[in-house]
């Protein structure tokens, strides 16, 4: 089976490499040349366009920044839809608006092409080690065909419902992650200004009810002031905007999501949009005039 892969950014490149390691034949494309050459060096074939990639693949995976990029790569000129054969499957692993996923799926269906929306959670570290959490929307039969491939990139792949459900689940995930980081930030700034080493606070609470995967992943970063991006603030802003738009469209108030969105927007204005989203703590540090570092 040959797999087409479009989009070799921070997430897509290691995901594609994991498929190669698993023994799959890959043809890849990205508008940026360097990651293409790197993945080709690891054993993939180089595609000339999304259309070319789709023409060669039975399954076509897309991993792109946002809804407009997916629409362009799949439905635009020289897009996937022009090369995909009847019976092939498009798996969009980007984090996009659920409605956009449904629109793209509807156009592909006219050509007899199936689609799953399958966004991921875990950031670059889990993309590299192949332990992403993958949330999927689409038909059960299509999901079962693709699941073994997904599990070469992730530790879990869960069918959440019909097309678009994967991205609804991802939006829920992103709300929870953002608010976890904000809560951690408030707590650590409070501790530091009260004279308690935030590293000791982390050690004391991580095994209790306040402990979480988010806390374990992000606390060590903020305690060292390390905001090298695994997942950039600007990308979290994109996801939260999709969450807000979706929530407002269906009549769901999301006041806490609105608050963390404004915090991230303030950081963007401060030029910190390319920091890891753990850098949210910098907003609180600035307000309190208190730097959070651990002496441990």
Q: Which positions are catalytic?
A: 170
Instruction: Assess contact for 110 and 120: CB atoms under 8 A.
Output: no
Q: Nearest-CA neighbor of 179 among 215, 225, 208?
A: 215
Instruction: Assess contact for 174 and 239: CB atoms under 8 A.
Output: yes
Residues 152, 132: Cα–Cα separation, whole Å: 9
Residues 199, 16: Cα–Cα separation, whole Å: 36
Q: What are phi and psi of 20, to 5 degrees?
A: -65, -45
> Angle at Cα 71 formed by Cα 70 and Cα 73, nearest 5°?
65
Both structure tokens of 225: 């002031």
For residue 296, with 0-12 CB atoms within 10 Å meaning exposed, 13-18 middle and 19 or more buried, which class applies?
A: exposed
Instruction: Assess contact for 99 and 135: CB atoms under 8 A.
Output: no
Q: Nearest-CA neighbor of 114 among 135, 72, 145?
A: 145
Q: Is the four-CA dihedral 178, 179, 180, 182 of positive or negative sign?
A: positive
For residue 16, with 0-12 CB atoms within 10 Å meaning exposed, 13-18 middle and 19 or more buried, which class applies?
A: buried
């Amino acid at each position: 089976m040959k797999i087409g892969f479009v989009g070799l950014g921070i997430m897509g490149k290691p995901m594609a490499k994991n498929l190669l390691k698993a023994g799959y034949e890959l043809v890849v494309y990205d508008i940026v040349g360097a990651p293409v050459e790197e993945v080709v060096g690891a054993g993939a074939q180089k595609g000339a366009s999304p259309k070319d990639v789709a023409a060669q693949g039975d399954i076509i995976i897309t991993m792109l920044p946002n809804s407009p990029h997916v629409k362009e790569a799949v439905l635009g000129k020289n897009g996937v839809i022009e090369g995909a054969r009847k019976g092939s499957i498009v798996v969009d692993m980007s984090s996009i608006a659920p409605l956009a996923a449904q629109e793209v799926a509807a156009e592909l269906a006219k050509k007899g092409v199936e689609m799953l929306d399958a966004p991921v959670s875990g950031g670059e570290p889990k993309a590299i080690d192949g332990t992403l959490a993958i949330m999927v929307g689409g038909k059960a039969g299509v999901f079962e065909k693709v699941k073994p491939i997904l599990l070469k990139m992730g530790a879990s792949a869960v069918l959440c419902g019909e097309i678009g459900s994967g991205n609804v689940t991802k939006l829920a995930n992103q709300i929870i992650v953002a608010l976890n980081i904000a809560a951690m930030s408030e707590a650590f700034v409070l501790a530091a200004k009260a004279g308690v080493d935030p590293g000791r606070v982390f050690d004391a609470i991580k095994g209790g009810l306040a402990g979480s995967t988010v806390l374990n992943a992000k606390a060590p970063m903020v305690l060292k002031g390390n905001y090298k991006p695994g997942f950039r603030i600007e990308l979290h802003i994109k996801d939260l905007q999709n969450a807000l738009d979706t929530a407002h469209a269906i009549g769901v108030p999301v006041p806490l999501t609105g608050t963390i969105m404004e915090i991230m927007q303030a950081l963007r204005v401060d030029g910190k949009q390319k920091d890891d989203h753990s850098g949210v703590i910098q907003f609180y540090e600035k307000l309190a005039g208190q730097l959070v570092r651990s002496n441990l």
